[in-house]
Structure 1
Amino acid sequence: MKMSPRRLSLSIALLACASIAQAQTPQGKSLQLSAGMHLIQAEVAATEAQRVQGLMYREKMPANAGMLFVFGNPSTQCMWMKNTPLPLSVAFIDASGKIVNIEDMQAHTLDSHCSTKTVPVRYALEMNLGWFKQKNIKPGMSIGNLPAVR
């Protein structure tokens, strides 16, 4: 089948967008999420090893970048900051994509920061400290383009 130059250009542009939205980082898969009008480039931590490693030892993270932790079964989840030099904020997210609660976490601490016990969560999204507050993103709002969990 022969494509017109315009249709071929459009197809190439769509493929480029798809590869940007779901790229590979040195640490693993990355995808583009949305929080209202804000876009987030999130590394995905879907395996036990990736979730344990998280953002440990990272010295910096771009302004609209983060890490999405994907959990197999919805439940209460807790995070800590051992060996993590970046202060972070974490949004705990239910299976439908709704933010349940947001917690601020200080660097190099062993304090547990947990999702509320009343709503099981399937995801946790770590961003630079204060990112959610700066963007006026609050519990009850949704995160878009979350990966399906098997």
Structure 2
Amino acid sequence: EGMIFLFPNEEIQSFWMRNTKLPLDIIYVDKDFKIVKIYRNTTPFSTVSLPSNKPSKYVVEINAGLTEKYNINEGDKIEFKPSK
């Protein structure tokens, strides 16, 4: 489980962890569903900006450690499936 943020335009995105109590893996995804940037095990409550560095249309937040556990890497393609 996680959260997906959908943006109207593909552009540089930036997130932070300001009000987030748990560490997360943050995944930036472009319009072709290719992962362009991953931040692993982010620091809770941090106000440090975590930019995509490349244009992205989607941002996925999942529990910290899941990108490593499932061998998810920059350059991989991602598929979204709705939960039931």
Q: Which runs of 5+ in 2 are unaligned?
A: none
**What is the TM-score of this pair, normalised by structure 1?**
0.51
Q: Give the structure 2 partner of residue 111 of structure 1.
A: 48
Matches for 1:55-66 after TM superposition, within 5 Å: 65-66=1-2
Which structure ranks higher in relative contact order (CA pairs < 8 Å, sequence separation ≥ 6)?
A: 2
Shift of 1:146: 6.9
Determine the C-alpha separation between the residues in 1 that align with 2:3 and 2:24.
Answer: 10
What is the CA RMSD across the aligned residues, in angstroms? Answer: 1.5
Gaps of 5+ in 1: 1-64
Structure showing greater radius of gyration is 1
Divergent runs of 4+, >6 A: none
In 2, the alpha carbon distance for the partners of 1:83 and 1:101 equals 22
Matches within 5 A, 1:1-150: 65-104=1-40, 105-116=42-53, 119-145=54-80
SS at match of 1:123: strand
The AA in structure 2 aligned to 1:100 is V
Across the two proteins, how many residue pairs are aligned to each other? 81
Q: Tell me the SS of whatever aligns to 2:68.
A: helix
Q: Structure 1: which amino acid aligns with 2:7?
A: F
TM-score, length-normalised on structure 2?
0.89
Displacement of 1:145: 3.2
SS in 1 for 2:47: coil
Question: How many Å separate the matches in 1 of 2:7 and 2:81?
Answer: 12
Q: Which amino acid aligns with 1:139?
A: E
Which protein is richer in helix relative to its size? 1
Instruction: Measure how far apart 1:131 and its partner are.
Output: 0.8
Residue identity matched to 1:125: V
- Report the Cα offset of residue 144 of structure 1: 1.1
